């Protein structure tokens, strides 16, 4: 095995582990019937938390928690609006976030709060 394929294998394993973290957290989520405004507030708070934890070795656990919190907030809002994506999309977390954010951008009418969330970062 070459160094490149070893690095690629570790990255694939890490992404599969992240998908499992998302899946596990979703399984533990309590079903709450929140209004869109409350869900948007959750997404905005989670997005702010992500921005407070830049990538660094010292802050890796905090960053992972912030990323997971943001992804779960996005999933709750998507679920509320009628879309429950296949969680395997989280094998590529950045692409999964972009897909969820794109869906929300299309579903929420202007002024419904998504522009406020996007304005955070």
- Region 85-104 average pLDDT: 93
**To the nearest 10°, the Cα dihedral for 55, 56, 58, 59?**
-10
Confidence of residue 113 (pLDDT cuts 50, 70, 90): low
Please provide the distance, in angstroms rounded to a whole number, between the alpha carbons at the two ends of the chain. Answer: 40
Model confidence, pTM: 0.78
Rounded to whole angstroms, the Cα distance separating 25 from 20 reads 8
DSSP secondary structure letter of residue 15 = H
- CA distance linking residue 59 with residue 24, whole number of Å: 22
Contacts 24+ apart (CB under 8 A), 58-65: 64/21
**Structure confidence at residue 121 as a pLDDT band (50, 70, 90):** very low
pLDDT of 110 higher than 70: no
How many other β-carbons are positioned within 10 Å of the β-carbon of residue 57?
Answer: 5
Mean pLDDT, rounded, for 40-56: 82
28: pLDDT confidence band, cut at 50, 70 and 90?
A: confident
Predicted pLDDT of residue 94: 93
How confident is the model at residue 84, as a pLDDT? 94
CA–centroid distance for 102 within its chain: 12
């Amino acid at each position: 095995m070459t160094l490149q394929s070893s690095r690629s294998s570790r990255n694939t394993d890490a992404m599969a582990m992240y998908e499992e973290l998302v899946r596990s957290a979703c399984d533990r989520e309590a079903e709450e019937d929140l209004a869109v405004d409350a869900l948007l507030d959750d997404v905005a708070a989670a997005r702010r938390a992500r921005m407070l934890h830049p990538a660094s070795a010292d802050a890796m656990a905090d960053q992972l928690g912030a990323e997971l919190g943001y992804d779960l907030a996005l999933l709750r809002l998507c679920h509320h609006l009628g879309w429950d994506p296949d969680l395997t999309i989280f094998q590529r977390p950045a692409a999964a976030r972009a897909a969820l954010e794109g869906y929300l951008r299309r579903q929420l009418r202007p002024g419904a709060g998504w522009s406020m969330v996007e304005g955070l970062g």
